[in-house]
Amino acid sequence: MNELTIQVGDFVVTAMKVFGGFLLLTLMLLVIWLIVTYIIDVTQTEQTIRRNYPVIGRFRYFFEHIGEFFRQYFFAMDREELPFNRAQRSWVYRAAKNVDSTVAFGSTDNITSPGTVVFVNCTFPTLGEDAVPPKLITVGAACAHPYTTASLFNISGMSYGAISKPAVLALSTGAKAAGCWMNTGEGGLSAYHLTGGADIVFQIGTAKNGVRDLNGHLSDDKLIEVASHPEVKMFEIKMSQGAKPGKGGILPGSKVSEEIAEIRGILVGQDALSPNRHLEITSFDALLDMVNRVRDVTGKPTGFKMVIGKPSHLDELLSAVTKRGIAFAPDFITVDGAEGGTGAAPMALIDSVGLSLKESLPLMVDKLNQYGLRDRIKVIASGKLVTPAAVAWALCVGADFITSARGFMFSLGCIQALQCNKNTCPTGITTHDPKFQQGLDAEIKAVRVASYVNNMIKEVGIIAHSCGVENPRALNRSHARIVMGDGLTKGMDDIFPDQQQAPPSL
């Protein structure tokens, strides 16, 4: 026993010596680091804080970086954050996980804040047994291959490249299960879009990715190839995007792999530049020319996506349609509000360019009514519509369909880390780093995508039934009121009365 005690004692003494030596080495390295850092800080001239407060000044940048995470999880109230607050994100998370989305006690929203939309409940709401699903809508009835769908809430444009392979797979499979469509974004059609079997809207961006020749010109042969896939139901010409109207994108050459190059129709290893606009579209007549070219070549409904800037531009557009004839009209127009999102854009464009959807959507619907084109041209609303109330608002205004990108990112697990413009997305959604992608299980997330859509339709239906109508598409402007500056509400149909009169002569 004494011998064992001596051995244990010797071991403890040896361990303490090793630990002491390690601690001493660590302290020496720390001192050396402090001295070197001090010298670097006082001699550099790029950052004033570090020069005047060497070493400790570095903590400012560290605290600035982690501040956004502390605000998100500890300090911000449920309705304070932008671009999406905790209440909005939490609803999407619960809907995607198909768990109870009810809340208790009372609203955390300020329902008397100017601009708030409140829905007009009916004294005799629709009973559950009287409710009906959203009605079918046909887009491009005169096309060789029109598209008929009951889908109300759909996936907006997110390119493969902007989002990862498992994210595209999850969206494709989830969209098929939910019966909604997904938009390819401007990066072209990949095998991952087709894998799930969902209906697809192919977006033609300013670089014509996927339907271009190597000189960047639109290729009829490539259009026919894309249209040959039965999953591709419509084509959308992207004129502008809510978060960056008038700005093209760039995919660095380092990300242009053989696979990306093949999908987009570009050269491997070279920067993929998207012009600020389609080079051949210099007028509304030229826009109609491209719409009709794509439609004639593919036989499928074709429209375009735009951010409204000057309201009078709609008069110019619709006058051009009226002059050429209703057959030349686009089959749909996607209205993207300035509150729309992106992977990366200059802050000046994100913050300060374009009309919000609250202004531009009723403007578009009213102008189409005014020119007698509302039945011919379907309206798709896009821009921060991620909750049932936001979707119901768009339906009240007059949208036929609603699309969302960031809502579906939340359904995939996005935590609003604000790193979409980097290759460091912690949830694997907007990164091509395998280390982060491995956490995104496409099969599990596909179920959540479908649940998000299904619960969205369910709760929009709850609002519709409360308003006394049988299905969400029966909502109109008489079913919503908007809080004014004095805290009182005014009917949406009074603020935005439907325009039915003949168009002005231009």
Residue 308, pLDDT > 50, answer yes
The torsion angles phi and psi of 422, rounded to 5 degrees, stand at -125, 175
Q: Name the pTM for this structure.
A: 0.85
Is the model more confident about 82 or about 437? 437
- Which pLDDT does position 447 carry in this prediction? 94
Residue 413, pLDDT > 60, answer yes
Q: Which pLDDT band holds residue 304 (cuts at 50, 70, 90)?
A: very high
Could you tell me the end-to-end alpha-carbon distance of the chain, in angstroms, rounded to an integer?
Answer: 108
- Which pLDDT does position 162 carry in this prediction? 82
Q: Are 402 and 472 in contact (CB under 8 A)?
A: no
The β-bridge relationship of strands 302-306 and 272-273 is: unpaired
- How far from the centroid of its chain's Cα atoms is residue 470's Cα? 29
Mean pLDDT of the 341-361 span: 80
Q: Are 389 and 463 in contact (CB under 8 A)?
A: yes
Q: Which pLDDT band holds residue 254 (cuts at 50, 70, 90)?
A: low
Q: Which residues of 450-476 are buried (b: 16+ CB within 10 A; e: fewer)?
A: bbbbbbbbebbbbbbbbbebbbbbbbb
Partners of 137 in beta bridges? 149
- Which pLDDT does position 502 carry in this prediction? 44
Query: Count H helices, E strands: the chain?
Result: 17, 15
CA distances from 361 to 354, 426, 494 (A): 12, 34, 16
d(CA 92, CA 411): 6
- Quick one: fold of 128-495? TIM Barrel (3.20.20)
- Which pLDDT does position 67 carry in this prediction? 62
Residues 6 or more apart in contact with residue 307 via CB below 8 angstroms: 239, 240, 241, 242, 245, 335, 336, 337, 338, 340, 353, 354, 355, 360
Partners of 325 in beta bridges? none
Domain boundaries, the chain: 2-75, 128-495
Mean pLDDT of the 397-422 span: 86
Question: What is the 8-class DSSP label of residue 100?
Answer: -
Residues 6 or more apart in contact with residue 99 via CB below 8 angstroms: none
